[in-house]
Amino acid sequence: MNVIVRNILLITITVSCLFSGCKGENDVEENGEQQPEVETLELSTSFLSFGKGAESQSFSITSNAQWTADSDADWLIPGVLSGNGNSDVTVSVLENSGEGVRQGAITVTSAGGITETVTVSQGGSDPYIMLEIGLSHVEISSISFSNAAASHNISIASNSRWIVSKPSAAAWLSVTPERGDGNGSITVSVNDNNTNDIRSSAVTITTESGITKPIQVRQVGTAPAIIIDRAAATASPNGEDITVSVTASRAWTPHIPQGAEWITVKSKSETQAVFAVAQNTSEQVRSTNIVFKLDENNIQESFSLTQQTWHNITHEAGMLQNVKKPFATGNHFVVISGSPRYFEALHWTTNAQALANGNIDIVDGGSHLLFWTWDALGPAITNGKLYQTVTLEAGSYKFDVVSDGNPNLGAEPNLAPAYVVAATGAELPDIANIQSALVSQRILPTQFTEGARLSIEFTLTATTQVHLGFVVTVSGRQQIYFNEVQLWELR
């Protein structure tokens, strides 16, 4: 009897699903129809600031999807590399032994391709001071207020003592505290402005070493007016969100001109507009003017937005050679099964460890650039180095590497260390000293799949000789293939 009842129930449920539909776990109903749940991904912050020492902070991920977290710098370490749904991520930085402030980024990517980035800044031994307001996490040079009395809190990141000053004539403006040491905050307050006019003054923060950070403070009056916190901004060629804070006495609207489809309004509130700037895939700088206008009249402010571009300099004189499959071979080769198969790479510098197995595989006419070992056929490679050397003027650069196959480097915790590196000095550093490089990025097999592109970016303050290439340690049956390398200059 129980079997009969169970079968009747199963038939009833099946028929019900056929006629009414059975919802999936992540489905929602819209207009009576079953719809997949929209994937979401949000981060609790877009910026973290650290002192020069090794320390940790965290941010939160709010999502209904699977995601991965990737760092673009070896000194910047996310506590987890992947997850599903909501999570807290601990971010650790190594000590900054350099003099200047350094920056990196952690990019969180959902399974459906949504990306959000946390920019990380770490001070060095040189004196520095940075100012941020609220949760914007953008260094500021001005703040604005409506006509009503109000306050703004400004965060200060510094490794020095500092003092705050303002003109004594600006009695409507006050700042507390008037001094501090290292990281801290100040509160800027204004009284009611019952006049028709916009009023302004300056607050200046000065470190004991003489670094000054002025903040322009403006407050609208009772007459129609609109103020934006900055007149211009420059966006990365990779695309990013640009936030403009707005103080207005009436409702307002941002107007993006026709032809600037690379910019969209991502969000808007009474006090700010966030613009999504798409990736610039051309090699041309592009710019436009966005007008912030009161809805009731023609009172407006203009905001100039420029987006930089990466210009391909790979093939310019004195730059890289032999950069794409099929790679040209040199004279040295390794014999496998009675025939030459692995060759040295023409125009590339290598060391004895990497050259022992050859750096180009000509099997099937492929001519891949690679590092490899295979038991007795190819000995283990420790700190194998393969690179080209170029002289670059002051500026910002990007070195791209394209995968030519899924790398076999093992898995954590025994993942073989393989790095894309830009470095100065006599040659590329060993893996143990990889942090001495200008920049390096570890190759992770889960991300460096066939056709994937890995990029490292660096900035030079003077004309410098730079080595660009790979440092790899592999053993057993491990290999990694490369299809192409490119060098780009930021313009």
Check which CATH number belongs to the domain holding 416 and give it: 2.60.120.260
Containing domain of residue 236, as a range?
226-308
Nearest Cα residue to 116 out of 192, 11, 24, 41 = 41
Do 289 and 415 lie in a common domain?
A: no
Q: Is residue 399 predicted with pLDDT exceeding 90?
A: yes
C-alpha 240: how far from chain center: 9
- Most confident segment among 112-121, 332-341, 409-418: 112-121
367 and 302 within one domain: no
Report yes or no on 262 lying in a domain. yes
pLDDT of residue 365: 62
d(CA 7, CA 23): 22
Q: Side chain identity at 143, as an amino acid letter?
A: I
Residue 102 banded pLDDT, cuts 50, 70, 90: confident
Amino acid at 234: T
346 and 431 co-located in one domain: yes
CATH number for the domain spanning 237: value is 2.60.40.10
Reply yes or no: is the peptide bond before residue 257 cis, omega within 30 of 0.
no
The residue type at 29: E
374 to 14, 84, 444, 476, 488: CA distances (angstroms): 54, 36, 20, 6, 35
Please say if the pLDDT value at position 37 is more than 80.
no
150 and 174 in a single domain? The answer is yes
In tens, the pLDDT along 13-35 reads 343 433 344 444 455 455 556 66
Instruction: Give the residue-averaged pLDDT of 385-402.
Output: 95
Report the C-alpha gap between 198 and 215 in whole angstroms: 16
97, 122, 147: which is the final residue of a domain? 122
Is 259 found in the same domain as 146?
Answer: no
**Domain check: are 369 and 442 in the same one?**
yes
**Alpha-carbon torsion 171, 143, 102, 487, what sign?**
negative
Examine the fold and report which residue of 274, 308, 342 is the final residue of a domain before the chain moves on. Answer: 308
Reported as type and span, the H/E element at residue 11 is helix 2-20
Q: Which residue type, as a one-letter code, is found at position 70?
A: D
Higher pLDDT, 209 or 437: 437
Residues 135 and 160 in one domain: yes
Kindly state whether residues 386 and 446 are assigned to the same domain.
yes
Same domain as 452, residue 391: yes
Is residue 364 domain-shared with residue 445, that is, in the same domain? yes
Three-state SS at 168: coil
Is pLDDT of 206 > 90?
Answer: yes
| CA-based nearest residue to 482, from 469, 464, 463 | 469
Domain assignment present for residue 84? The answer is yes
Asked whether the predicted pLDDT for residue 39 surpasses 60, the reply is yes
Q: Count how many domains the chain has.
A: 4
* C-alpha to C-alpha distances, 237 to 128, 169, 318, 433, 485, nearest whole angstrom: 27, 44, 25, 31, 19
Residues 349, 484: one domain? yes
**Any domain includes 107:** yes
Residue pair 290/259 in contact (Cβ under 8 Å)? The answer is no
Residue where a domain terminates, one of 308, 339, 358: 308
The DSSP output letter for 127 is -
301 and 424 share a domain? no
